[in-house]
Structure 1
Amino acid sequence: MLRRHRDTVDLRWLSARSFTEKWYPQGIDVGVWQGRRALAVSWFRKDKTGQHLASRVTLIDPQRSRHLDLSFAIRDENGDLQPAQIHAGGLAWFDDRLFAAATNEGIWEFDLSEVTRLHRKDVRRVTGRRGFTGLAVVRTRVHPVSLRCSFLGRAFDGDGTPLPRVLIGEYRIDDRGRIGEFTIPDGPVGFIAVDDPTPTADGAAEAGAPGIPRMQGVARWGDQIFVSQSRGIRKPGRLWVGEGRMLQRSPIPLPVGTEDLALDPQDQMLWTIGEHPWKRVVRGIRFASLGI
């Protein structure tokens, strides 16, 4: 369901996705799928103990109110498909390359140009649900990163030109979480820290802690950094904006349980998503209200 407001656009699920406690939405970005612009939303599935079982990305066409699920998968030593058991806390979409934050396992890359149709025997194992059919994208690379990869977002010039860079950040309950900016690799090597071609084991040299607890998403427009902050299951999230580590709290509220951030120059929106059951929303905040 799409609702347009003066400063925002909200998309809500009219299905069990709005309240299920098995799947939680996390990451968001914008790209082009088969010639049409789409929103990508990542989810992870967990059991009652909190163990990660599977992950997926949902491609949403808001103009047609349609969506398509692609399970994240990996191949084992026998060549069989297995579920990607990652949090998928953030997404960065570059053409057919989709990067997902894999927490302590760096950044995982998936190729959207190669979609695999799952056989019936593989559907339950890979997707984490019953069904006769399913689609998956298979991991192509693992990129080691010197930060714990809780979330990631893209960087743009001040005129909206996309840069081959991502910002990667650490979720922490305290205010010591760090954010670093990295260049996307062309090959299988890890992401390269900006202005530091040899990042050290304890974190990239340019990585800084802006002093914000419970950071959930980050993106950059010119010199402006945007950071989302969650505040539990009842309070609206907060948006922080500024240069470098000098971030100021914005008066614009974010959804309860806010997660990742994504900048959309074409539709002039800053997208985010709320993760909590019954409060789930994909929200776009118009650039005009952000001063962009």
Structure 2
Amino acid sequence: MLWPFGSTWRPVRQKRRDTVDLRWLSARSWTQRWYPQGIDLGLWRGRRTLAVSWFRQDRSRNHLASRVAFVDLERSRHLDVLLAVDDGDGDLAPAQIHAGGLAWFDDRLFVAATGQGIWEFDLSDIRRVRGSLARRLAGARGRGWRATALVAVRTRVHPIGLRCSYLGRVFDEAGEPLRRVMIGEYRTDGSGRIGEFAIPDGPDEEFEEQDRFSPGIRSMQGAVRWGDRYFVSQSDRLRPGILWRGRRDALERDPISLPVGCEDLALDLEAGLLWSLGEHPWRRVVRGIPVDRLGIDD
């Protein structure tokens, strides 16, 4: 399958048993230059698509660039789109953010920019760049990288009174998506906060906070809400991730483990899956867990 601009989609291995596992069939399975972080779902050209954000760093762990891999869930192929910033004079620079979480609403892609609020990108205006500009937006040096790349450009920066480590969606009790997001903080001491915000509709509006709480869970990596049920991911270094679920004031540890080095969460209620992903090299997987295995009716 070809992208409308002519770029080729790259394959992803999909395995189904108790979970749906997607694995990268390339160097991104082990590279220490790029790390996967955020996840969400949407429609791309009318097809159900999974979006996975990545950030690039150098050996000093400085952020160099970020991108989103769009995975066609039916055909198990993906395509990369780099994230970029317009300097105001029409020149593009790489989006040097951690991209710890995603929330996808129509053509609007919101990305958690740790310590820098929420950045919004326009998916209706995907651009194709070439040569040195493509390499620079990917944070690459030299001539060994691709000749062309697809780019989404930032349209707004939304200031938020939280660290903005991750970003998740909100659904009502019937499973209908709401125009709200969960924004949370990664803290190793358990002081991280989670806020719920209504997303802005107009160009002069900002995120409007609806709620905020501190569950007392260290190393939180993602949060989503379905009715009065909350799901929170917790990383545990090189051990399997932990999933907390339940009502806000009574979160319980689920017996099902998340991937090692787990990150963000995304609810796919159409398919009946809770998605997460692992970031560590050689252990990278994008995993969909059937929600009927999570004991949510207890």
TM-score by length of 1: 0.93
> Is 1:161 aligned to residue 204 of structure 2?
no
Q: Where do 5+ consecutive residues of structure 2 fail to align?
A: 1-12
Q: How many aligned residue pairs are there? A: 279
Q: Over aligned residue pairs, what C-alpha RMSD do you find?
A: 1.0
Where does 1:134-173 land on structure 2 (aligned, <5 Å)?
A: 134-173=149-188
Contact kept, 8 Å, 1:123 with 1:131, in 2: the verdict is: yes
Aligned residue identity for 2:251: L
Deviations along 1:38-97, one digit per CA (max 9) or x if unpaired, are 100000000000000000000001321211100000011322000000000000011111
* 2:124 counterpart residue number: 113
* 2:5 counterpart residue number: none
Contact kept, 8 Å, 1:210 with 1:246, in 2: the verdict is: no
In structure 2, the CA distance between the partners of 1:95 and 1:77, relative to structure 1 (3 Å rule), is: closer
Contact kept, 8 Å, 1:208 with 1:245, in 2: the verdict is: no
Q: CA deviation at 1:177?
A: 0.3
* 1:177 counterpart residue number: 192
Partner SS for 1:207: strand
* 2:17 counterpart residue number: 5
Give the one of 212, 219, 222 matched to 2:217: 212
Contact kept, 8 Å, 1:240 with 1:247, in 2: the verdict is: yes
> Is 1:19 aligned to residue 23 of structure 2?
no
Separation in 1, partners of 2:167, 2:22? 22
Contact kept, 8 Å, 1:31 with 1:95, in 2: the verdict is: yes
Q: Where do 5+ consecutive residues of structure 1 fail to align?
A: 195-205
Partner SS for 1:164: strand
In the TM superposition, structure 1's runs of 4+ consecutive aligned residues that sit over 2 Å from their partners are 187-190
Aligned residue identity for 2:226: W
Separation in 2, partners of 1:163, 1:143? 19
Where does 1:82-101 land on structure 2 (aligned, <5 Å)?
A: 82-101=93-112
Separation in 2, partners of 1:116, 1:241? 40
Give the one of 253, 259, 265 matched to 2:257: 253
Which moves more between the two structures, 122-131 or 167-176?
122-131
Separation in 2, partners of 1:291, 1:221? 14
* 1:190 counterpart residue number: 206
Aligned residue identity for 2:195: G
Contact kept, 8 Å, 2:100 with 2:113, in 1: the verdict is: yes
TM-score by length of 2: 0.92
